[in-house]
């Protein structure tokens, strides 16, 4: 029996059709994958089901009856719960308070009583969590459990999980899958949004594939191979950049030397613990790892926006430790930010953003040379094929074009070292290929590239050597030819290199 049925769902944002008459149905007790690339319309469809968006056309049925879901509240009343990538939790409050938030009777907040009730519910659903703990003290995996508990506590019959494993280490993924299997055996239905094929193969019963907002089809997982699903997902047999094998002679001295650096995260806790890395000219060093293991702090430290508590960073023989970001640039470090919006000022124009790091070059006796700025911007726009005009506001650009602006800003100055965290996150296939080609071109031109990525396929496809970051430490460095997804997976889950 179909517990949820969505028929002919259409949703349009401006000129973009995010969901193009999609049909979707969900059976009781199944794990149903919603598979597709970034921007395929998976999240849009589920946001409609959860009442966060309103569809332009189409109908939703729950347990056979047509329903109108205008808000998450309606969704909850219809037994639908959703766990998004960005947890909807209030960090300074307890687990119990978060669970009952928006779902409790009476006026008073009886702390002891709700903690007891939430504790009992957790036990019943087999979720291990302390109801009186403050959420801000919990790990990512624990927070996810709180989110799931929250949905179950509201009598959810349908659980939507939006890329639940993106933030988890393999062991936590296993625990999550076990919980999901338990829950499904009691009749719960799970919608599992993902673009990770092996997980889809492992956990789901059926798969609905979306591409460019259209429904490609719904299949039984067992009847398809990973490759078949992949081709449904991308619409072609293979994708990505072809590796060009050129093991050019490596210079003796590394161009970038990271020597036992440590740093704290925003909350003042240790995030990096004595990390040492070396990058040589003409290579790409990939830093792999599950998100939240210090990637952000590492990239910030290497970009000069994070203070180190110890250790030093040496570029081409010059110690740049403690210098400011402007001096990092001056010493030949090309820095691309992890979050595009944190590297560019959306309200400024493309030309202004392109010049932002090099304002002194455009200063003539205290005046700013706008003409030169716009002229240079036009050159870069052409060279990097950015779809924009110099005087366009940057915030109106697409993600891919923004990333191109950032790359253009950095690469046009021929840096000795390029730092690129998450270079293709959130980009479409075309932009991804473009960015990867640019990185390979940099490597060929003799720069040392340090790429931090949570996308294992990307790390494997581009890197010459791969370092794995786990809980703020480098747990192993492998040559690309000896690295396999399995060996990297072990390292990423915290097993030391010696044990591999």
Partner 1 sequence: MMTFIATLLGATLRVSTPILLAAIGETYSERSGVLNLGIEGTMLFGAFTGFYFAEISGSLWFGLFAAVVSGMLFGLLMALLTVTFGLNQHVSGLGITLLCEGLAFFFFRLLYGGAHTPPSIEPFEQIKLFADNPILGPIFGQYLLTYLTFLVIIPLMWWILYKTRFGLHIRAAGENPEAVDAAGVNVFGIRYASIIIGGGFMAAGGAFLSLCALGSFTHGMVNGRGWVALAIVIFGNWNPVKAMWGALIFGGAEALQLRLQAMGLQLPVPYETFLALPYVLTIIALVLAGRNASYPAALLKPYKRE
Partner 2 sequence: MAKNKLITFEKCDTAPAWKNPVLIGLSILITFILSAGLILMAGKNPIETYYHFIVAPLSTKFSFLEVLVTFTPLLLCGVAVTFAFTSGYYNIGAEGQLYAGAVAATWIGISPVFYDWSPWILIPFIIIAGFAFGMLWALIPALLKVKMQVDEVVTTLLMNSIMAYIVSALLNGPWKSPFSGWPESPEISMNAIFPKIVAKSRLNLGVILALVAMLILWFVLNRTPFGLRMRAVGKGKHASKFSGINVQRTMLLSALISGGVAGVAGVSVMCGIQFRLISEISPGYGTIGVMIATMGGLNAFGVGLAAFFFALLDVGALTVSRQMGLPSYLGEITQATLLLTTISVLLLHRYKVKLPWLKKKEITTEEEEK
Cα(154)–Cα(145) distance, integer angstroms:
14
Contact with partner 1 (CB under 8 A) among 24, 26, 53, 476: 53
Q: Residue 329 binds which one of partner 1, partner 2, none, with CB within 5 to 8 A depending on kind?
A: partner 2
Return the number of the residue (335 or 425) whose C-beta is nearest partner 2: 335
17 binds partner 2 (CB under 8 A): no
Cα(477)–Cα(287) distance, integer angstroms:
9
Give the DSSP letter string of 313-372.
EEETTEE-TT--HHHHHHTTEEE--SSGGGTS-TTSBHHHHHHGGGGGGGEETTEE-HHH
Contact with partner 1 (CB under 8 A) among 5, 30, 37, 97: 97
Quick note: the x/- pattern for partner 2 over 370-399, rule CB under 8 A, is x-------------------------x---
Return the number of the residue (206 or 393) whose C-beta is nearest partner 2: 393
Angle at CA of residue 482, ends 198 and 468, nearest 5°: 70
Contact with partner 2 (CB under 8 A) among 145, 150, 335, 465: 335
Return the residue matching tokens 């970001």. Answer: 325
Part of the chain binding partner 2 (CB under 8 A), chosen from 17-25, 79-87, 130-138, 361-369: 361-369
Q: Quick one: how far is CA 313 from the chain centroid?
A: 27
Part of the chain binding partner 2 (CB under 8 A), chosen from 29-37, 334-342, 435-443, 490-498: 334-342
Give the DSSP letter string of 444-464.
HTT-EEEEE-S-HHHHHHH-S
Helix (H) or strand (E) holding 409: helix 399-411
429 binds partner 1 (CB under 8 A): no
Return the number of the residue (100 or 351) whose C-beta is nearest partner 1: 100
Contact with partner 2 (CB under 8 A) among 171, 363, 479, 481: 363
Contact with partner 2 (CB under 8 A) among 141, 325, 399, 494: 325
Q: Residue 347 binds which one of partner 2, partner 1, none, with CB within 5 to 8 A depending on kind?
A: partner 2
Of 200-259, which residues contact partner 2 (CB under 8 A)?
A: none
Region for 480 from its dihedrals, namely left if φ exceeds 0, alpha if ψ lies in -120 to 50, beta otherwise: alpha
140 binds partner 1 (CB under 8 A): no
Q: Residue 8 binds which one of partner 2, partner 1, none, with CB within 5 to 8 A depending on kind?
A: none
Q: Is the CB of residue 271 less than 8 Å from the CB of residue 297?
A: yes
Contact with partner 2 (CB under 8 A) among 110, 116, 181, 341: 341
- Number of other CB atoms surrounding residue 245 within 10 Å: 8
356 binds partner 1 (CB under 8 A): no
Ranges of H-type helices in 154-213: 170-185, 197-203
Cα(84)–Cα(55) distance, integer angstroms:
19
Contact residues for partner 1 (CB under 8 A)?
52-53, 71-73, 75-76, 82, 84, 86-93, 97-98, 100-104, 106-109, 111, 150
């Amino acid at each position: 029996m179909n517990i949820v049925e969505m028929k002919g769902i259409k949703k349009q944002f401006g000129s973009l059709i995010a969901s193009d008459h999609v049909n979707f149905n969900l059976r009781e007790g199944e794990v149903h994958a919603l598979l597709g690339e970034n921007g395929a319309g998976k999240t849009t469809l589920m946001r409609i089901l959860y009442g966060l968006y309103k569809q332009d056309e189409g109908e939703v049925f729950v347990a056979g009856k047509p329903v109108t879901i205008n808000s998450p509240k309606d969704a909850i009343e219809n037994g639908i719960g959703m766990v998004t990538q960005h947890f909807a939790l209030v960090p300074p409050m307890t687990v119990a308070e978060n669970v009952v938030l928006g779902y409790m009777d009476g006026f008073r907040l009886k702390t002891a009583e709700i903690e007891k009730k939430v504790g009992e519910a957790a036990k019943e659903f087999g979720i291990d969590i302390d109801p009186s703990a403050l959420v801000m003290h919990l790990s990512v995996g624990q927070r996810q459990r709180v989110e799931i508990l929250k949905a179950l506590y509201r009598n959810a019959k349908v659980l939507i999980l939006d890329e639940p494993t993106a933030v988890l280490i393999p062991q936590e993924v296993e625990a999550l899958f076990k919980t999901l299997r338990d829950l499904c055996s009691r009749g719960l239905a799970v919608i599992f949004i993902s673009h990770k094929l092996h997980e889809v193969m492992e956990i789901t019963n059926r798969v609905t594939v979306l591409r460019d907002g259209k429904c490609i089809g719904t299949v039984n997982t067992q009847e398809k191979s990973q490759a078949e699903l992949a081709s449904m997902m991308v619409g072609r047999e293979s994708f990505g950049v072809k590796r060009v094998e050129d093991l050019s002679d490596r210079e003796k001295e590394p161009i970038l030397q990271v020597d036992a650096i440590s740093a704290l995260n925003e909350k003042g806790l240790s995030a990096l613990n004595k990390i040492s890395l070396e990058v040589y000219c003409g290579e790409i060093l990939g830093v792999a790892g599950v998100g939240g293991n210090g990637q952000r702090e590492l990239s910030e430290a290497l970009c000069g926006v994070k203070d180190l508590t110890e250790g030093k960073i040496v570029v081409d023989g010059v110690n740049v430790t403690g210098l400011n970001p402007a001096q990092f640039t001056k010493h030949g470090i090309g820095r691309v930010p992890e979050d595009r919006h944190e590297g560019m000022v959306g309200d400024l124009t493309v030309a202004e953003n392109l010049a932002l790091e090099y304002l002194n070059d455009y200063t003539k006796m205290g005046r700013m040379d706008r003409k030169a700025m716009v002229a240079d911007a036009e050159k870069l726009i052409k060279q990097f094929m950015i779809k924009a005009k110099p005087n366009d506001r940057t915030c109106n650009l697409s993600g891919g074009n923004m990333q191109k602006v950032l790359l253009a800003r950095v690469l046009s100055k021929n840096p000795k070292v390029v730092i690129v965290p998450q270079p293709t996150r959130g980009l479409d296939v075309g932009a991804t290929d473009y960015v990867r080609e640019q990185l390979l071109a940099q490597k060929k031109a003799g720069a040392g590239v340090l790429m931090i990525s949570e996308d294992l396929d990307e790390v494997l496809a581009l890197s010459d050597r791969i370092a794995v970051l786990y809980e703020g430490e480098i747990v192993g460095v492998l040559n690309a030819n000896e690295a396999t997804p399995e060996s990297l997976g072990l390292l990423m889950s915290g097993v030391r290199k010696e044990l591999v």
